[in-house]
């Protein structure tokens, strides 16, 4: 059979059926503000969710429950990408290709090989591209409208470290179920959410699978992953979660936890890690920088640096020469002293030269992007940075935590303000609009 002719015949047949198929495959299922979600998008998202569920060895929920979760996730994504467009956030094809290339490289593949592997797995590469574009848009939007407003005080850091005690480096793997409560909800709505959460808790105590219930009923961002929060340090968890996880044994499920955002159930899957000391090797150096300028060619700069090196070697004072000849305004007045610095502060060419010197030695002239240098190492030390590292990690963890909490509230407000119209049969619409 001639493949080319067979393919042309198939395409002709498909084109004849397209008018009928389009209505079935790509009908509008949900209107979201001035955009829509098509049947084909939902079908692809359901297939992807089913694949992830299989990979996690979780018993799948009912088709209705899974469809409802998928539709809701698509609605939230569409609302955010629309907001990003309004905010002028764009991801062009060049930038998208850079992101995809980075993802491919992390998997040891070129971009073309990555596309081939996706197709082997039955995934539509073009659909994956657009999904990645949406994810980058959402992250940019979140950074602009949520994370940029987050602040962390020294008092926040002190309080967290006090609460964690010696468990700052302990990591927990948790699974999570959330029954969300809308902002400003009435007591009746809150009571209904509490009743729903209690019902889920009873089902878990009766032995039902945590991951399956999370996929079907959780309002958390990781619902379609069975509620899996992956490994996180105690400092990266909400304070209530970290305190509760420390009291659970692997496999145990918590009592009902209440916050302003809703009711939570967490399961401790595993725990690892513990206290560890950290230190950093620092080098104290000084240098004389000689730059090319309107009165001095690069060759003349090199020659001057060589002359200065010879004068230092002959016994002249390095500090005095730096004050007189160095073109580095930041260190010139201090005799070229750069202070104690950890690795990574200086450009690689400079750092390599310092690493080759013993205290008291002076380097021959060498070039970096800034000009010609004569450098000397005056001292080295190892400094304990355990407490400093703890505070830095705590500050980052608090920022991440505050951003996550604010993001949930912000997303809920966007959802409540959006115009959503379901164009589904009644049973599917009910699933999509589950409480």
Q: How many domains, in total, are found in the chain?
A: 3
Q: How many CB atoms lie within 10 A of CB 274?
A: 11
Instruction: Judge residue 190's burial from the number of C-beta atoms within 10 Å of its C-beta, 0-12 exposed, 13-18 middle, 19 or more buried.
Output: middle
- Do 331 and 425 belong together in one domain? no
> What's the whole-model pTM score?
0.60
Instruction: Tell me, yes or no, whether 125 lies in a domain.
Output: yes
Sign for the CA dihedral angle at 398, 403, 404, 410 comes to positive
Q: What is the pLDDT of residues 360-372, one digit of tens each?
A: 999 999 999 999 9
Which among 115, 145, 175 is the end of a domain?
145
- Do 413 and 267 belong together in one domain? yes
Instruction: Tell me, yes or no, whether 248 lies in a domain.
Output: yes
- Do 315 and 337 belong together in one domain? yes
Q: What is the pLDDT of residue 261?
A: 87
Q: What is the pLDDT of residue 276?
A: 64
Which of 390, 369, 356, 18 has the alpha carbon at shortest distance from 170? 390
Instruction: Tell me, yes or no, whether 10 lies in a domain.
Output: no
Which among 78, 113, 145 is the end of a domain?
145
Instruction: Tell me, yes or no, whether 345 lies in a domain.
Output: yes
CATH of the domain at 347: 3.10.50.40
Instruction: Tell me, yes or no, whether 130 lies in a domain.
Output: yes
pLDDT in 10s for each residue of the chain, 435 residues: 333 333 333 333 333 333 344 444 579 999 999 999 999 999 989 998 998 898 888 888 899 999 999 999 999 999 999 999 999 999 999 999 999 999 999 989 999 999 999 898 888 899 889 999 999 999 999 999 999 999 999 999 998 888 776 666 788 999 999 999 988 888 899 999 999 999 999 999 999 999 999 999 999 989 999 999 999 988 888 888 988 988 898 999 999 999 988 999 999 999 887 666 678 899 999 999 999 999 999 999 999 999 999 999 999 999 999 999 999 999 999 999 999 999 989 999 999 999 999 999 999 999 999 999 999 999 999 988 878 888 888 899 899 989 998 999 999 999 999 999 998 654 444 444 443
- Do 248 and 202 belong together in one domain? yes
Q: Which residues fall within 8 angstroms of residue 248, CB to CB, at 6 or more apart?
A: 254, 266, 267, 268
- Do 331 and 353 belong together in one domain? yes
Domain carrying residue 42: 34-145
- Do 309 and 218 belong together in one domain? no
Which among 145, 175, 209 is the end of a domain?
145
CA 288 to CA 314: how far, in whole Å?
16
Instruction: Tell me, yes or no, whether 171 lies in a domain.
Output: yes
DSSP β-bridge partners for residue 422? 30
CATH of the domain at 132: 1.10.4030.10
Instruction: Tell me, yes or no, whether 397 lies in a domain.
Output: no
Instruction: Tell me, yes or no, whether 226 lies in a domain.
Output: yes
- Do 183 and 266 belong together in one domain? yes
- Do 223 and 253 belong together in one domain? yes
CA 87 to CA 74: how far, in whole Å?
20
CA 375 to CA 364: how far, in whole Å?
8
Q: What are phi and psi of 141, to 5 degrees?
A: -65, -45
Is residue 323 a contact partner of residue 375, using CB atoms and an 8 Å limit? no
- Do 163 and 189 belong together in one domain? yes
Q: What are phi and psi of 267, to 5 degrees?
A: -120, 130
- Do 173 and 262 belong together in one domain? yes
Q: What is the pLDDT of residue 341?
A: 95
Return contacts of 159-164, CB within 8 angstroms, 24+ apart.
160/235, 160/239, 160/394, 160/397, 160/398, 161/390, 161/391, 161/394, 163/239, 163/242, 163/243, 164/234, 164/235, 164/242, 164/394
- Do 303 and 374 belong together in one domain? yes
- Do 268 and 284 belong together in one domain? no
């Amino acid at each position: 059979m001639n493949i080319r002719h067979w393919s042309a015949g198939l395409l002709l047949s498909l084109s004849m059926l397209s008018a009928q198929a389009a209505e079935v495959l790509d009908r509008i299922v949900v209107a979201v503000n001035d955009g829509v979600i098509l049947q084909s998008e939902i079908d692809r998202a359901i297939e992807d969710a089913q694949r992830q569920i299989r990979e996690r060895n979780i018993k799948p929920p009912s088709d209705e429950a899974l469809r409802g979760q998928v539709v809701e996730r698509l609605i939230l994504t569409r609302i955010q990408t629309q907001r990003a467009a309004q905010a002028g956030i764009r991801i062009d094809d060049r930038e998208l290709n850079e992101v995809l290339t980075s993802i491919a490289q992390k998997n040891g593949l070129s971009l073309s090989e990555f596309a081939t592997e996706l197709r082997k797995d039955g995934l539509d590469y073009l659909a994956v591209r657009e999904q990645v574009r949406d994810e980058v848009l959402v992250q940019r939007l979140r950074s602009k409208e949520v994370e940029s407003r987050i602040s962390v005080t020294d008092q926040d850091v002190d309080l967290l470290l006090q609460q964690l005690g010696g468990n700052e480096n302990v990591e927990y793997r948790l699974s999570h179920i959330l029954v969300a409560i809308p902002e400003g909800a009435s007591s009746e709505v809150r009571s209904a959410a509490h009743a729903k959460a209690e019902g889920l808790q009873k089902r878990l105590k009766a032995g039902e699978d945590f991951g399956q219930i999370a996929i079907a009923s959780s309002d958390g961002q990781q619902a379609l992953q069975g509620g899996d929060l992956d490994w996180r340090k105690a400092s990266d968890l909400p304070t209530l979660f970290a305190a509760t996880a420390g009291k659970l044994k692997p496999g145990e499920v918590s009592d009902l936890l209440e916050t302003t955002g809703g009711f939570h159930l967490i399961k401790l899957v595993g725990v690892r890690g513990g206290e560890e000391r950290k230190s950093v090797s620092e080098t104290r150096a000084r240098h004389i920088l000689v730059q090319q300028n309107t009165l001095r060619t690069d060759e003349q700069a090199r020659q001057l640096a060589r002359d200065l090196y010879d004068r230092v070697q002959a016994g002249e004072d390095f500090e005095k020469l730096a004050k007189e000849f160095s073109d580095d305004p930041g260190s010139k007045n201090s005799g070229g002293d750069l202070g104690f610095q950890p690795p990574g502060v200086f450009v690689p060419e400079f750092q390599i030269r310092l690493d080759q010197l013993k205290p008291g030695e002076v380097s021959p002239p060498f070039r970096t992007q800034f000009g010609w240098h004569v450098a000397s190492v005056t001292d080295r030390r190892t400094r304990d940075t355990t407490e400093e590292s703890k505070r830095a990690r705590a500050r980052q963890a608090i920022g991440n935590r505050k951003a996550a909490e604010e993001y949930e509230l912000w997303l809920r407000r966007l959802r409540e303000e959006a115009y959503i119209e379901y164009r589904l049969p009644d049973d599917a619409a009910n699933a999509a609009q589950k409480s």
